Amino acid sequence: MSLIKINQNIVDAILLFNKLDSAKAEAILIKIFSSPTSKYSELFTEKELNKLLALLKINEEQLNNIVRAFSFLLMHAVAERNIKDVEQTLAHIGLSQGHIALFQKQWVTYGNEYTIKIRERPVAIQQELKEFTWSISLPLESSKLPLKNATHLREDSFPIDHNEELYSIDAKNPQLILNMLLQQEDGSNSEKFAVRLEKAQIQNLFENLEKIQDQLDLLL
Q: What is the pLDDT of residues 26-76, one digit of tens each?
A: 988 988 888 777 677 677 788 888 888 888 888 888 888 888 898 888 888
Q: What is the CA radius of gyration of the chain?
A: 26
- Please, which residues bridge with residue 85 across strands? none
3-state secondary structure of 133: strand
Cβ within 8 Å of residue 195, ≥6 positions away: 177, 178, 180
The pLDDT of 178-194, averaged and rounded, is 79
Q: What is the DSSP string of 7-34?
A: -HHHHHHHHHHHTS-HHHHHHHHHHHHH
Q: pTM of the entire structure? A: 0.55
Residue 192 has pLDDT above 80, yes or no: yes
The alpha carbon of 35 is separated from its chain's Cα centroid by a whole number of angstroms, namely 20
The alpha carbon of 175 is separated from its chain's Cα centroid by a whole number of angstroms, namely 26
3-state secondary structure of 180: strand
pLDDT confidence of 105, banded at 50, 70, 90?
Answer: very high
Residue 100 has pLDDT above 90, yes or no: yes
Residue 218 has pLDDT above 50, yes or no: yes
